[in-house]
């Protein structure tokens, strides 16, 4: 069934009355404005308080540049790894029936239930000089805490559940009939995955990756404990922002925060672009 077959009646029964729609949209707009946009505007206003020039000057410092670079590299490593894990986990959990599934999902959720401060503490306890593992690593010249690997690990820890948790409900909803059909028809496992599963989950996957990426770039608590805060080396953007703020450099701090927000928007722009590019395909898959 395609768009063409939608009679006016069919369209109206699958949505709410115009009045309800308007009221709901109105309420949502107001709440979003107060809860989401107001703080954002506050950040941008603070960043531009002394004009564009001052704001850009804050961003041009070598420390700020190094922080932006580090944040992007960390996200570029942590997000794909977590995405790969998320797909694997969602496949194992939704396509197979095994004991202890609830426990497993809860273990995947665990990083969310751990306060970032505690997450950082746990990593320090594991890899710090005062643990046998940390001592062994340091003896072999492998620095984890207060160095790059520690930051990546902390970031992966806090963003660990995102992709898996986005995919699991969607793949549960879809069941496994389609994959089974494809296999019965002779498709290989990988082919089934790429031609059947992936198209079905791509939006959830995209949302998961976006969330994961946003959080990876914005994470402060856990990374702060493990970074060592060495200027230009182990300071990610959120840590740099905190340092600048504590040094009474508000404009520079908020400018960097605004850049972080813009970076998140950039990934969202990408999403919109994809949506637009595949609009036709989307319409075809969405209403049949």
Partner 1 sequence: MRAGILRSPSPLPGFGLSFGIMMAALSVVVLLPIMALVGRGVMIGPAELWEMVGTRRIRAALALSFRAALVASLFNLVFGLVLAWVLVRYRFWGRRLIDAAIDLPFALPTAVAGIALTALYAPNGALGQMLTPLGIKVAYTEFGIWLALIFIGLPFVVRTVQPVIEEIDREVEEASATLGASRAYTLRRVILPMLAPALLTGFALALARSVGEYGSVIFIAGNLPFKTEIAPLLIVIRLEEYNYDAATAIGLAMLLISFAMLLVINIIQIWSRRRIGDV
Partner 2 sequence: MLLTIQIGSHVLAQGTFIRRLDDGQIEIDAGNRRMVGRPIASGWHPKAMTKVRDGAFRKTFSRISLRRGVVAALTSLGLTFGVVMPASAQEDTEILNVSYDPTREFYRQYNELFSAWWESEGHAPVTLRQSHGGSGGQARAVIDGLEATVVTLALSADISAIAERTGKIPEDWQSRLPHNSSPYTSTIVFLVRDGNPLGIEDWDDLARDDVAVITPNPKTSGGARWNFMAAWAWAMEEYDGDEAQARAYLGTLFRNVPVLDTGARGATNTFVQRGIGDVLLAWENEAFLALAEQGDGAFDIVVPSVSMLAEPPVTLVDGNITSERQRAVAEAYLEHLYRPEAQALALQNYYRAWDTSAASQEDIARFPEVTRLSIDDFGGWAEVQPTFFGDGGVFDQIYEEQ
DSSP letter at 195 equals I
Q: By rule CB under 8 A, what string of x and - marks binding of each residue 16-55 to partner 1?
A: xx---x--xx-xxx-xx-xxxxxxx-xx--x---------
Choosing from 173, 191, 265, 268, the residue that interacts with partner 2 (CB under 8 A) is 191
**Do the Cβ atoms of 164 and 204 come closer than 8 Å?**
no
**Alpha-carbon gap, residue 58 to 239, rounded angstroms:** 15
* Least spacing, CB of residue 275 vs partner 1, in Å: 9
CA gap 23, 282 in Å, rounded? 28
Among 8, 39, 62, 186, binds partner 2 (CB under 8 A): 186
CB 264 within 8 A of CB 36: no
Closer of 5 and 17 to partner 2 (Cβ): 5
Q: Read off the DSSP letter of residue 160.
A: T
Shortest spacing between CB 178 and partner 1, in angstroms: 11
Q: C-alpha distances in angstroms, 113 versus 107, 110, 126?
A: 10, 5, 19
Q: Rounded to the nearest whole angstrom, what is the least distance from the CB of residue 206 to partner 2 in the complex?
A: 16
Q: Minimum Å distance from CB 175 to partner 1?
A: 5
Which CB, 99 or 288, lies closer to partner 2? Answer: 288
Query: Out of 3, 190, 272, 276, which residue is the one contacting partner 2 (CB under 8 A)?
Result: 190
For residues 258 and 43, the answer to whether their CB atoms sit within 8 Å is: yes
Residues 219-248 that bind partner 1 (CB under 8 A): 219-221, 237-238, 241-242, 245
Nearest to 105 by CA among 35, 149, 171: 171
**At its nearest, how many Å lie between partner 2 and the CB of residue 16?**
25
x/- mask, partner 2, residues 62-101, rule CB under 8 A, reads ---------------xx--x--xx--x-------------
52: Cα within 13 Å, side-chain hemisphere:
0
């Amino acid at each position: 069934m395609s768009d063409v077959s939608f009679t006016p009646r069919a369209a109206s029964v699958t949505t709410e009355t115009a009045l309800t729609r308007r009221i709901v949209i109105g309420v949502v707009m107001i709440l979003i404005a107060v809860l989401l946009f107001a703080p954002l505007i506050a950040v941008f206003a603070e960043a531009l308080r002394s004009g564009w020039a001052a704001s850009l000057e804050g961003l041009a410092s070598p420390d700020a540049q190094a922080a932006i670079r580090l944040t992007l590299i960390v996200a570029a490593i942590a997000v794909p790894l977590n995405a790969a894990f998320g797909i694997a986990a969602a496949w194992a959990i939704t396509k197979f029936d095994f004991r202890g599934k609830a426990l497993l999902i809860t273990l995947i959720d665990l990083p969310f239930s751990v306060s970032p401060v505690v997450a950082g503490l746990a990593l320090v306890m594991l890899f710090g000089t005062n643990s046998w593992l940390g001592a062994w690593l340091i003896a072999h010249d492998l620095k984890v805490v207060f160095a790059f690997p520690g930051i990546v690990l902390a970031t992966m820890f806090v963003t660990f559940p995102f992709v898996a948790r986005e995919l699991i409900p969607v793949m549960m909803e879809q069941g496994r009939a389609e994959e089974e059909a494809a296999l019965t028809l002779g498709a290989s496992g990988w082919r089934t995955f790429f031609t059947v599963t992936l198209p079905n989950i791509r939006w959830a996957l995209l949302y998961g990756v976006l969330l994961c990426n946003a959080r990876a770039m914005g994470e402060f608590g856990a990374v702060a404990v493990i970074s060592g805060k060495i200027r230009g080396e182990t300071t990610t953007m959120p840590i740099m922002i905190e340092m600048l703020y504590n040094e009474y450099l508000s404009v520079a701090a908020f400018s960097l925060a605004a850049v972080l927000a813009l970076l998140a928007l950039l990934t969202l722009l990408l999403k919109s672009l994809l949506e637009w590019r595949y609009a036709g395909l989307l319409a075809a898959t969405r209403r049949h």
